[in-house]
Amino acid sequence: MHKGQHCADISMIDKKHSLPFVPSIGREFTMSNRILVVDDDRDILKVLKANIELHGYEVDTADNWAAAQEILSEHNPDLVILDVMLPDRDGTEICRDLRKEYPGMPIIMLTAKDKVSDKVFGLESGADDYVVKPFETLELVARIKACLRRTSAPAAEEKVAIGNLKVDFKKRLVTLAGKTIDLTPKEYDLLRFFISHRGEAVSRESIRKHLWKRSSIYSWSRVIDVHIQHLRQKIEKDPSNPKYIITVPGAGYRFAD
């Protein structure tokens, strides 16, 4: 599609095309979360700010990491939307640093790279979600809501102990034999999902629907298996002979109860 052509979907965001304003159907006043958007394209920042604010969020924008740091020094956002390619620093490195400093803060990464390996790399850097350009602003808003729900939803159980593995959901603290285990946000969400379904055989599809609510994670993708492998390496004494995350042939996985 070229700039001179009629745009059928005016909510699509793409650096290569013009960025029209997108009206929202029914403004939501129940939200009060603050969001920081970091992207080097000022047109994208302008459109995202306008559209996200229509859904009741407060939005700060920065077109480089230095400007973003100034905003972070003044207040902590409830969620960060971070472009992978910034002029003054690599987005994945920033994501790692943010995850260390703000372990409970959701991070959504924006990128033009759509390979599965790129997505896995972004998620392993600590991102909660990964959005590929071009994208629709309504889809991004839906992912913002999902990320905020996951981090703000109260746990059914505050603390769980299964063998030597202990999880304090209120503190988002995981320990194994008394030693703190550092998990990425997605690994923590995966562990929490398994614990909430412990004793049950859960399929890869149910895991995908719960943790990756998007069609870009296909049935043949190994993204889920890679995350489970990494989680096993952190919580299992012998990952090749797991005692917690057990493979159920033909069904998926089962977490020990």
Q: Which one of 152, 177, 193 terminates a domain? A: 152
If one counts the domains in the chain, the total is: 2
Residue 23 is assigned to a structural domain of this protein: no
d(CA 10, CA 87): 28
Q: Which one of 96, 131, 152 terminates a domain? A: 152
Residue 46 is assigned to a structural domain of this protein: yes
Q: Assess whether 108 and 123 both reside in one domain.
A: yes
Residue 83 is assigned to a structural domain of this protein: yes
Q: Assess whether 249 and 203 both reside in one domain.
A: yes
Q: Assess whether 144 and 205 both reside in one domain.
A: no
SS3 letters across 192-216: HHHHHCCCCEECHHHHHHHHCCCCC
- Hey, which residues does 166 pair with through a beta bridge? 161, 175
Residue 118 is assigned to a structural domain of this protein: yes
Contacts within 8 Å (CB) and 24+ apart, 44-49 = 44/13, 44/15, 44/19, 46/19, 47/13, 47/19, 47/20, 47/21, 47/22, 47/137, 48/13, 48/81, 48/137, 48/140
Q: Assess whether 67 and 34 both reside in one domain.
A: yes
Domain range for 227 is 159-255
Amino acid at 208: R
Q: What CATH number is attached to the domain comprising 193?
A: 1.10.10.10
Q: What CATH number is attached to the domain comprising 121?
A: 3.40.50.2300
pLDDT tens string for the chain (257 positions)?
333 333 323 345 554 433 444 444 333 433 468 999 999 999 999 999 999 999 999 999 999 999 999 998 887 888 999 999 899 999 999 999 998 888 778 999 998 766 666 667 667 788 888 888 888 888 899 999 988 887 765 445 678 999 999 999 888 899 999 999 999 988 998 999 999 888 889 888 888 877 775 445 555 568 888 999 999 999 999 999 999 999 999 889 999 97
Q: Assess whether 140 and 251 both reside in one domain.
A: no
Q: Specify the pTM.
A: 0.52
Q: Assess whether 127 and 103 both reside in one domain.
A: yes
